[in-house]
Amino acid sequence: MILDVSTSTPLQNYKILSNTITPRPIAWISSVFPNGLVNLAPFSFFAPLCVNPPIFSVCMMQKSDGSQKDSFKNILQTRKASISMCELSHLQALQDSSAELAYNVSEANAFDIPLEVLETSYPPVPQGIKVAFLCDLYDVLELGEAKSVLLEARFFYIADSIYAKDLNFLPHFVGRVGRIYKSLGAQIMLPNKDETKPKKD
């Protein structure tokens, strides 16, 4: 089957890319609303682009009503974002935070997701996170209908429980939570609410 991109829809393109370029981690991004509350949202189109400086790319498609994502608006305004790497204990909270809420409404408040401040100049992250990247806005690429936000990490957070001085640490949750990741327990974890039922081999 050959599919011509010039005639496929954005949704078809998304499904093909989302289901074939796997596995990949989810960027659980926290940003701050103008009212001071914290927006928390998962993004599965996420990847590191550069090591020096450390820069990530996050593709932010529009909301279902065609408006811009809350995260995008906040990052443009504050030029700050925190990226957390999710583990199994946060999976339900991750799924809950994918809900589309009104602007200035915090997912952390709506779904009782406790937060903690790692560095006062950056948005707080979900409590218990073991790896996070505290970032400044580097650039925004307008590619078609989506916005690719480039975020430059200014601080790395690694929990003491997994940190190693030689940096040869391996978080136990690597390969277990992401967009179509298979865990050692023979389950597939999917972040989207319509795809949250674990599937057995």
What does the pLDDT look like over 47-88, one tens digit per residue? 999 999 999 999 998 888 888 899 999 999 999 999 999 888
Decide yes or no: CATH 2.30.110.10 for domain 5-183. Answer: yes
Has residue 181 got a pLDDT over 60?
no
What residue type is assigned to position 5 of the chain?
A: V
Name the residue with higher pLDDT: 187 or 139: 139
Task: Please tell me the predicted confidence (pLDDT) of residue 61.
Answer: 85
- Interior/surface letters 114-148, b for 16+ CB within 10 angstroms, e for the rest: ebeebeeebbbbbeebbbbbbbbbbeeeeeeebbb
H/E element holding 71? helix 70-78
Predicted TM-score (pTM) of the model is: 0.82
* Separation CA 126–CA 116 (nearest Å): 6
Where are the domains positioned within the chain? 5-183
**Ramachandran angles phi, psi of 154, nearest 5°:** -105, -25
Lowest-confidence segment of 11-15, 19-23, 38-42, 179-183 by average pLDDT: 179-183
- Asked whether the CA dihedral 25, 30, 31, 35 is positive or negative, the reply is positive
Say how many C-beta atoms besides its own lie within 10 A of residue 70's C-beta. 23
| Bond from prior residue into 53 cis (ω within 30 degrees of 0) | yes
Which two tokens mark 186?
């023979």
Give the mean pLDDT of 110-116.
Answer: 97
Question: Under DSSP, is residue 191 helix (H, G, I), strand (E, B) or coil?
Answer: coil
